[in-house]
Chains A and B, each alone.
Chain A
Amino acid sequence: DVKVTQSSRYLVKRTGEKVFLECVQDMDHENMFWYRQDPGLGLRLIYFSYDVKMKEKGDIPEGYSVSREKKERFSLILESASTNQTSMYLCASSRGQGAFPVEGYTFGSGTRLTVV
C-alpha cells in the first residue's frame, strides 16, 4: 500500500521554538506539497517541491521554510513558532513532471500542531 507518512500525529510546541514537521513518501513521487488546513479556510498551500533541493512558495509561505535533501523526504520548518501557526498540517505527494497525474495527490494523515 502506497504511503505518505508524517512523523507526528499531534505536536505541542512553545512560542518561539523551531519546529520540524517531517514527511516521507515511498512512491518515488517527484512532487511533494505542504498544506495547512483550518476550519472555514480549507487547505492552503505553504510550499511545494518538484525535485530534490528544489522548492517553490505557495500561497502562504510567510513564517515557514522547507527542505528537500532526498526525493522521498520533504520537511516543513517553522523557524520561530507562533500561536497563529496552530493548525493541521497536511503533506501530499504526486508523480510526474508533465501533465497533472490522473490519480491526483496522495495525502498523509496530518500533523495537528498546537503552539502555546
Chain B
Amino acid sequence: AQSVSQHNHHVILSEAASLELGCNYSYGGTVNLFWYVQYPGQHLQLLLKYFSGDPLVKGIKGFEAEFIKSKFSFNLRKPSVQWSDTAEYFCAVAMGSARQLTFGSGTQLTVLP
C-alpha cells in the first residue's frame, strides 16, 4: 500500500539548533508534496509544498524542504529553530492523479528556550 513515513516521532531541540525532519513515501510515480504544521490548539496550516521545478522549496517562517526523487524523500529543514516553532509537523503526499492526501504519522517538535 502507498504510505508516508515520518521516522522521528518526537524531537527535542534547544533554541538556535538546526532542524531536519525526515519524510519518505512509497510511490513510484508523480507526486505533490506538502508539509503542514499544527501549533497547539490550532488548525493545520500549510508550511510549504513541492509540485515541480526546483527541488529545494522555501516556505513560511524560514522553513525549507528538499525533494530527492531517487530517495523518495522530502525532508524539512530549518537552520535555527525558535521556541515558537514548538508544534507538530506532518508530511503529506498526493500520489499520481489522486485528489486526496496521504499523511505521515507526524513529528512533535519541542524547542527548549
A contact residues vs B (CB 8 Å cutoff) = 31, 33, 35, 40-45, 48, 50, 58, 90, 94, 96-97, 100, 102-105, 107-110
CB distance from A79 to the nearest CB of B (A): 23
Q: Find out whether the CB atom of A107 lies under 8 angstroms from the CB atom of B34.
A: no
Contact of A45 among B6, B9, B100 (CB under 8 A): B100
**Complex CA–CA separation, A31 to B44 (angstroms):** 17
Tell me which residues across on chain B come within 8 A of A90, comparing CB atoms: 44
**Complex CA–CA separation, A68 to B44 (angstroms):** 23
CB distance from B81 to the nearest CB of A (A): 21
B contact residues vs A (CB 8 Å cutoff) = 6, 9, 32, 34, 36, 42-44, 46, 49, 51, 90, 92, 94, 98-106
Q: Find out whether the CB atom of B49 lies under 8 angstroms from the CB atom of A104.
A: yes
Q: Find out whether the CB atom of A43 lies under 8 angstroms from the CB atom of B90.
A: yes
Contact of B94 among A41, A50, A100 (CB under 8 A): A100
Q: Could you say which of A31, A42, A45, A107 has the most chain B C-beta atoms within 10 Å of its C-beta?
A: A42
CB distance from A70 to the nearest CB of B (A): 19
Tell me which residues across on chain B come within 8 A of A33, comparing CB atoms: 100-101
Q: Find out whether the CB atom of A41 lies under 8 angstroms from the CB atom of B105.
A: yes
Q: Find out whether the CB atom of B106 lies under 8 angstroms from the CB atom of A42.
A: yes
Q: Find out whether the CB atom of B94 lies under 8 angstroms from the CB atom of A45.
A: no
**Complex CA–CA separation, A42 to B105 (angstroms):** 4
CB distance from A67 to the nearest CB of B (A): 18
Q: Find out whether the CB atom of A100 lies under 8 angstroms from the CB atom of B32.
A: yes
13 contacts between A and B (CB under 8 A): A43-B106, A45-B102, A50-B99, A58-B100, A94-B99, A96-B99, A100-B94, A103-B46, A104-B34, A104-B36, A104-B49, A105-B101, A110-B43
**Complex CA–CA separation, A110 to B42 (angstroms):** 9
Q: Could you say which of B6, B42, B100 has the most chain A C-beta atoms within 10 Å of its C-beta?
A: B100
* Besides A96-B99, A108-B43, 16 other A-B contacts (C-beta < 8 A): A31-B99, A31-B100, A33-B101, A42-B6, A42-B90, A43-B92, A43-B103, A48-B100, A90-B44, A97-B99, A100-B94, A104-B34, A104-B92, A105-B46, A109-B43, A110-B43
